[in-house]
Amino acid sequence: MLTIILAQITQKRKLQEKIENTRLSRIDSWKKNLKEFKRSKYAKLHDDSVTIEDIKEQRKHATKIRVRRSRELERKNSNYDETVAKRKKKQFYDVQETYENEIRELYSHVCNSCGKICKKNQVKTLKRSTLKQKGFRSKFIKKLFSVENSDSEEFCTTCVTYINRGKIPKLSLENGLKFSVVDEDIQKLNRIEERLLAPRHVFQTLWTVNGSTGQFKTKGGIVNVHVDMDTTVHYIPRAIDDSNMILVK
pLDDT for position 183? 84
CA–CA separation, 174 vs 114, rounded Å? 8
- Tell me the pLDDT tens digit for each residue of 140-181: 888 888 887 777 788 999 999 999 888 989 889 888 888 888
Residue 107 has pLDDT above 70, yes or no: yes
CA–CA separation, 72 vs 69, rounded Å? 5
Is the model more confident about 114 or about 247? 114
pLDDT for position 40? 60
pLDDT for position 243? 64
Phi, then psi, of 73 in degrees rounded to 5 = -65, -40
What is the pTM for the complete model shown?
Answer: 0.43
Phi, then psi, of 221 in degrees rounded to 5 = -85, 160
Q: Is the dihedral of CA 155, 158, 161, 163 positive or negative?
A: negative
- Tell me the pLDDT tens digit for each residue of 204-244: 998 887 777 777 888 888 999 888 877 667 766 666 676 66
Buried b (16+ CB within 10 A) or exposed e, 33-64: eeeeeeeeeeeeeeeeeeeeeeeeeeeeeeee
pLDDT for position 155? 92
Contacts 24+ apart (CB under 8 A), 56-64: none
pLDDT for position 10? 78
Residue 49 has pLDDT above 60, yes or no: no
